[in-house]
Every structure is written in C-alpha cells, then in structure tokens.
Chain A
C-alpha cells in the first residue's frame, strides 16, 4: 500500500537524499470496482438466457381425420381456459359431470390435477389424459401457466385443442367469458 511518508526530516544540515518512492499502489478501490462489474455482468448474462418450453401440438392433418387416437372419456380431464385468470374443468364428456371453476396456482388447479391423476390411475390403471382448450378470452400467460402445471405435476399426455361452441356457452354460464 502506498502510504504517506510522515517521518519527515527537518533536513537541518543533512545531505539531500533522493528518496526511493515506494512501488506499491493501493489496489482496494480497483478491486472494489472490478468486483462490482463482475457482479453486474454475472447477473445480467445468466438472467438473460431465454428458457424454452417445448410444446408439441397434435397433428392437424386434414386429409386423414379418422386417423385420430381415441381416448376413453372417463379418464379424460378437460380444462377450459376462460377470462379473468379463471379456468373450468370437468372429467369425462361435457355436461355429464359438474364442472368446477378454479384459478391457477398451487392450491387450485395443481391440487386438482394431482388428485385426479391419482384417482384415475387407481381406478383404471392408466394415466390421465388432459385436454386443454383455451378460449378466445384467455391470455397467453394462462396457456403457459397451464402447460407449466402439466410439467410440474408430471402429466405426460396432454394436448391443446380448439374450443367448440358448447364449451364457450359453458364458460359463459360460469361468467368467465367476458
């Protein structure tokens, strides 16, 4: 460290000696700055990398429409995405079981997904199939959220399908289509 030389001689009658200047420099400030910049660059580079959520859509082949895989309705859960960050779900065919309106989040749809998938696994011995139908009033975030829930609850088979008119009417009935 460079320090001030306080031991000044009075220089009375002494020989004037050229003093050897110390070559040490105070590096504290430099190190401070360097670490500040490192922190800045570290944080900005790691957070900027975009994450990619892979999504596979069902094949939309108009030529062979009969070539579709039929899944038993009893182990199918349909999720309709409505407005105001609300969704509606039912198991089986529409209208046969009472739909439930729920929100996104770990106490709402995630709990339901885990419960339903366990129930279906127990009674059928096969995995649950989830059909996601986003309505025109839902936002992009809703879709990403529900796909994320699929990822969290480890549901392998799901698909995004276009919504049909009776389902839109159902959403209107629950007042989540505004």
Chain B
C-alpha cells in the first residue's frame, strides 16, 4: 500500500491586498487627523460621562488654568475680524501680517496693550514668552470685549451664533470659573458648554 503523503503547504500568503487596505486606511487617518494643539497652560480636563461632541465650527473656547484666562476662536476669518474689532476698541491698528499671525495661533492670553509686541515676536521667542492671561477684572474687562467682538464677527461673517465653551483645569478654584461664567452671563450668554474628557 502506498503511503499517503501529506503535502506540505507553503506558509507564505499574498499580502498585496492586505497591504493595500492598510495603506488606504492609513492615508485616511492621516488626512483626517487634526494636529493636537498645545494649550498655553497645562489643562487637565475633568472627566464626565457625557458623549456629546463639540461642533467644529463657530466655537470659542475660554481656557482657564492656573488662575489665567486664554481665549481661542475657530476659523481664520473670524479670528482676523475679531482682532481688528478689538484693535479699534483699544485704539491699536494691526497690519495684515499681524492679523495672519494671530489667525494661525491658538489660545492667546495677552492683554491688548502687549498684543502688538507679542505678535511681532519671532515664533521661537513667542513660545518662551510667558502669557499673562487676558485681564478679567472690572477695570479693564478685556475678556468681556473679546467674547463680544467674537460673537459680532461670527454673526457677521458666518451668520451663525457663536457657541461658547469653557475648558477648565480640574484643580482650578471655583471663583476663577465663576468670574468667567459671570462675564458670559453679563452678555446674556446663559447657555454654554463645558469641555470634558471621557471618564476613566
């Protein structure tokens, strides 16, 4: 009787298709990924079970950390317009170059009287510059004006209502947050969002 020989199969597989799919997905994820924007202050966002996502456009974020307040708006055009309006209010004129620089930044917390110098700094020097935060005291309530001008600019350019959100540090004391909420309420913004992360 002849012995039945078991044929040894080759262990190599054709990986071309797998490779195609893998790279297709990779390209997709690279293109859709948004670069993580560094915060001007370390902010540890508190966790919650809410799973509603923040919209991508027409959002302004007030970043609160270590007692300082920073302000960030989405959309380059709205940013430029807001800076111009703020310039008119505080009698500073910004050149187009400065406006473009501002449009590319994230989370700026510089008082208006230092804004021009800050924008004129070299980009590497700007990173080491310690931002003092936007003044929120009643004497020069710049945050109030920032929010107001940003709302006006969004309404004029995009025809939409600006959505305000607060990104606060977990350990931030409540009075600082309350100050921001009071400023929002003063201009009748009673509905806003708190940015949270997924609860671990």
The interface of chain A, by Cβ under 8 A from chain B, is 1, 27-28, 30-31, 34-35, 37-38, 41-42, 44-45, 47-60, 81, 134-145, 147-148, 151-152, 162
Question: Contacts A34-B23, A145-B46 known; A55 to B193 CB distance under 8 Å?
Answer: yes
Question: Contacts A49-B54, A59-B190 known; A35 to B22 CB distance under 8 Å?
Answer: yes
Q: Give the residues in chain B near A148, CB-CB below 8 Å.
A: 48-50, 196, 199
B58 to chain A, nearest CB (A): 13
The interface of chain B, by Cβ under 8 A from chain A, is 12, 15-16, 18-19, 22-23, 25-26, 29-30, 32-34, 36, 45-54, 64, 165, 167-178, 181, 184-186, 188, 190-199
A sample of 21 inter-chain contacts (CB < 8 A) reads A27-B19, A28-B15, A30-B19, A35-B22, A38-B26, A44-B36, A50-B45, A50-B195, A50-B196, A50-B197, A51-B54, A52-B54, A52-B193, A52-B195, A55-B191, A58-B190, A60-B186, A136-B173, A137-B174, A141-B46, A148-B49
Q: Give the residues in chain A near B192, CB-CB below 8 Å.
A: 54-55
B165 to chain A, nearest CB (A): 6
A135 to chain B, nearest CB (A): 7
B155 to chain A, nearest CB (A): 21
How many angstroms from the CA of A162 to the CA of B178 in the assembled complex? 9
B179 to chain A, nearest CB (A): 11
